[in-house]
Amino acid sequence: MCSGQNAGAARESGATVRVQQEGFRPRVGILGNAMRLGLAQLNSTVGDLEGNRRRIVTMLQDARGQGVDLVLFPELAITGYPPEDLLLRPAFVHQARRELDAIAEECVEITALVGFPELDRDLFNACAVCTGGKTTAVYRKRYLPNYGVFDEHRYFQSRHELLLLQLGDSLVGPTVCEDIWQPGPPATDLALAGAHVIANISASPFQLGKGAERERMLATRARDNACWVAFVNAVGGQDELIFDGHSLVLDEEGEIVARAPAFEEALLVVDIDTASTVSQRLRETRRRGLVRERGGPPEATVVDLGTAHATPDDVDPLLAPALSELEEMRRALVLGLRDYVRKNGFSDTVVGISGGIDSARTAALAVEALGSEHVVLVSMPSRYSSTDTQHDARLISETLETRFLELPIEHAVESFAQLLEDPFRDTEAGVAEENIQARIRGTLLMALSNKFGWLLLATGNKSEYSVGYATLYGDMAGGFALIKDVYKTDVFRLARHLNEQAGRELIPVSTIERAPSAELRPEQRDEDSLPPYEDLDAILESYVELDRSRDEIVADGFNDEVVDRAIRLTDRAEYTRRQAPPGVKLRSKAFGRDRRLPITNAWRP
């Protein structure tokens, strides 16, 4: 629709030559092949179209101030990702378009790629090219993910079309998220059509190790296509998803030239020079055969953005360090909680603290995310609570410097026992009685939440959520289940990591070393009812995340009775997980958007 339009006409001409950034690999700048890129790693809020627009404009102005030629904003930056069924509301989509128009007006002396939902007869997950005060072209996402946590076929139509942005002598080909995960087109076609840079705007959700996986994949794309890759990712928490940022620029040999920090907003500015790309393509002509075979290069719409900007100085590109797995976990949990609290308009949180490791871990993370003054810890001992755990509960609160309430539940437990004396006559005490205690605590915490507007954080971990060892409406009660995707064994590792980082016992060693217990009956220990957590967690990882069958897991060397038991418990607890609060997704398959099983399910694997 806008091929050949000279969108850069309003720009000042006479851009001078820039010398490339040093420090990682020397390059020689060639007139017209250099450009300054900005990767705006934005934390949008889903639905806050006006606020997102303001944040985009602020970053745009910052980028222009730094002499950036082309600034990239994430996929659906205007709406936040994923907007889910808000996309089915015409008013929402129209408003998003108006915000895009307002952003485009600000795009003078700079070009921006901005993700937005485009309604043009059908709905597209689109990348707007904003320059010269208006939207000059639109690229529409070709590959729509509809697996794992994604449902893009529910909302979007796709298009097969290539767009090339001419900036000086360089050609930049925009793509959207999933497009770049495909080994073939559009990346391969863009390169064959002449692109020197593939720009990818993403909202790529985090899971452990995802950053490294993306780096490997993008390096392959860069090398395969002999072109630069500029990948900008969203950052922030949205319900159970975390976007980790970790935006990247790679050169045509797949070397990482710049890496934005993970888990925080950033504007990554980097100078690139495509002269070496031109040179490499003249040397290595292996790809020419492909073009010859198809009878010519793929068709593409070319939009002229004019010459690149004059930039007085070179920037020193950031190469943020990669993080360890435990540190990734910690940062993801902190960001996820902070954004859930902030974006939902909460100020304070409340956590039931038992003196056990899970609630201690949750409390420590809440303090890190929000500050001590925004965390209230409530100890609710019963006759089964040991003096050790009660002591640790108080100690944790003192160490973390939070508010602390103690509400002994014994009297409430008795009132239930009296009420149920008649119906429960001649039955043996068991899960029913244990759950009453957990639910009295849930009711107390929810009362505090309702009264004071505190967000209640549920404290269960992934091992418990798997096998149904957390109590529905009891310790599963709350608005956010922070560590529901952290296996028990990882809860211990994280607790030690947190103490190491802090250089002191944020979480008492006694809490870490005590045998886990729900303390709902005398002398109770988790391992009386459950397999040792080392085994259990390994089995769960096979069953829940890898969809391995019972026989395959047994063949891995686990005791068959233990495997059968773990699977049976996990299947049976499906209905409780459906009623669980959201929590931070950390692994390849969290309980939530990415594991969709029927409750009514007679399949026994």
Within positions 9 to 48, which residues make up the interface with a copy of itself, using CB under 8 A? 45-48
Of 298 and 592, which CB lies nearer to a copy of itself in the complex structure?
A: 592
Which of 108, 39, 60, 31 lies closest to 310 in space, CA to CA?
A: 31
Interface with a copy of itself in residues 379-408 (CB under 8 A): 405, 407-408
Q: Judging by DSSP bridges, how do beta strands 480-481 and 455-458 pair with one another?
A: parallel
Of 28, 432, 509, 555, the residue at the interface with a copy of itself (CB under 8 A) is 432
Q: The tokens of 340 are what?
A: 């859930």
Is residue 75 annotated as part of the catalytic site, yes or no?
Answer: yes
Site for a copy of itself contains 556 (CB under 8 A)? no
Q: Which of 4, 9, 12, 89 binds a copy of itself (CB under 8 A)?
A: 89
Site for a copy of itself in 154-193 (CB under 8 A): 154
Q: Which of 99, 127, 130, 141 is catalytic?
A: 141
Cβ atoms 165, 300 nearer than 8 A? no
Instruction: Supply angle C-alpha 587, 174, 7, rounded to 5.
Output: 145
Chain positions 448 to 467 lying near a copy of itself, rule: CB under 8 A, are 448, 450-451
**Which of these is catalytic: 75, 99, 152, 328?**
75
Contact 584, 240 (CB under 8 A): yes
Contact segment (CB under 8 A) with a copy of itself among 225-233, 325-333, 511-519, 597-605 equals: 597-605
Selected from 24, 92, 181, 404, the binder of a copy of itself by CB under 8 A is 92
**Running DSSP on this structure, what letter comes out for residue 587?**
S
Binding mask 99-138 for a copy of itself (x = CB under 8 A): ----------------------------------------
Q: Which of 177, 215, 434, 488 is catalytic?
A: 177
Query: Smaller CB distance to a copy of itself: residue 181 or 424?
Result: 424
Helix (H, G, I), strand (E, B) or coil at 134: strand
Q: Is 409 in the site for a copy of itself (CB under 8 A)?
A: yes
Structure tokens at 21: 């950034």
Contacts of 294 (CB under 8 A, 6+ apart): none
- DSSP SS3 for 249: strand
Is residue 440 near a copy of itself by the rule CB under 8 A? yes
β-bridge mates for residue 37, sequence order: 70, 270
Q: Should residue 86 be labelled a site residue for a copy of itself when binding is judged by CB under 8 A?
A: yes
Binding-site string for a copy of itself from residue 199 to residue 238, where x marks contact by CB under 8 A and - marks none: --------------------------------------xx
**Does the footprint of a copy of itself cover residue 555 (CB under 8 A)?**
no
Q: Which of 3, 16, 427, 529 binds a copy of itself (CB under 8 A)?
A: 427
Of positions 10, 28, 509, 599, contacts a copy of itself by CB under 8 A: 599
**Is 22 noted as a catalytic residue in this protein?**
no
Encode burial over 12-29: b for 16+ CB neighbours within 10 A, e otherwise.
eeebeebebbeeeeebeb
134 is catalytic: no
Asked whether the bond before 186 is cis by omega within 30 degrees of 0, the reply is: yes
Name 127's bridge partners: 115, 139
85 contacts a copy of itself (rule: CB under 8 A): yes
The 3 state secondary structure assigned to 282-339 is: HHCCCCHHHHHHCCCCCCCEEEECCCCCCCCCCCCCCECCCCCHHHHHHHHHHHHHHH
Kindly identify the residues of this chain, within the stretch 479-498, that bind a copy of itself according to CB under 8 A: 479
Separation CA 6–CA 306 (nearest Å): 7
CB of 443 to a copy of itself, least distance (A): 4
**Catalytic machinery residues:** 75, 141, 177
